[in-house]
Amino acid sequence: MAYWLLKTEPDNYSYFDLEREGSTVWDGVNNSLALKHLRMMVPGDLALIYHTGKERQIMGIAEIVSSPYADPALNDAKRVVVDIKAIKRVSQPLTLAQIKQDGNFIDFDLLRLPRLSVVPVSEVYWRRLQELSDRPS
């Protein structure tokens, strides 16, 4: 199993929208590195859903439920999508500022490549992010 972080603008599509719908096609990715990461996903992988914009925080966990496939809305085989389903909200939304303050995420692509919309998360980072989001505020 691999772990990922998927960024979304909450005004366009939020974790709460995913919860309400249950599942969705994760589309709209066009950066070549982000697309490379999407192509590496397999059913059963888990992803943190991160709200960008003013919020800048991890809101919930989703599961990848399909292998990558060509975006049916586009006529471009390079633009892939995956299907995801909502698993649960994190206990406490975890802000970008909290992640930066922790000091354990020096090589984390969320911090190194802040514009990347699909970010791999190591198992060590995944566990630490879970610990931080489970802390009382």
Q: What pLDDT shows up at residue 75? A: 83
Question: Mind listing the pLDDT tens digit for each residue in 76-131?
Answer: 889 999 999 999 999 999 999 999 999 999 999 999 999 999 999 999 999 999 99
Read off the pLDDT of each residue in 32-55 and give the average, rounded to a whole number: 97
Locate 43 and state its tokens: 């059913």
| pLDDT classification of 137: cutoffs 50, 70, 90 | low
Please state the separation of Cα 135 from the chain's center in Å: 20
Compute the residue count for the chain: 137
* Domain encompassing residue 21: 3-134
Q: What pLDDT shows up at residue 77? A: 87
CATH number of the domain at 14, please: 3.10.590.10
Q: What pLDDT shows up at residue 134? A: 82
Query: pTM of the predicted model, to two decimals?
Result: 0.95
Contact present, 74 and 30 (Cβ < 8 Å): no
Q: In sequence order, which ranges of the chain are alpha helices (DSSP H)?
A: 15-21, 32-39, 96-102, 109-112, 123-134
The Cα-based distances of 96 to 30, 51, 81 in angstroms read 23, 10, 26
Q: What total number of domains does the chain contain?
A: 1
Question: Mind listing the pLDDT tens digit for each residue in 15-38?
Answer: 999 999 999 999 999 999 999 999
Regarding predicted confidence, which is higher, 56 or 75? 56
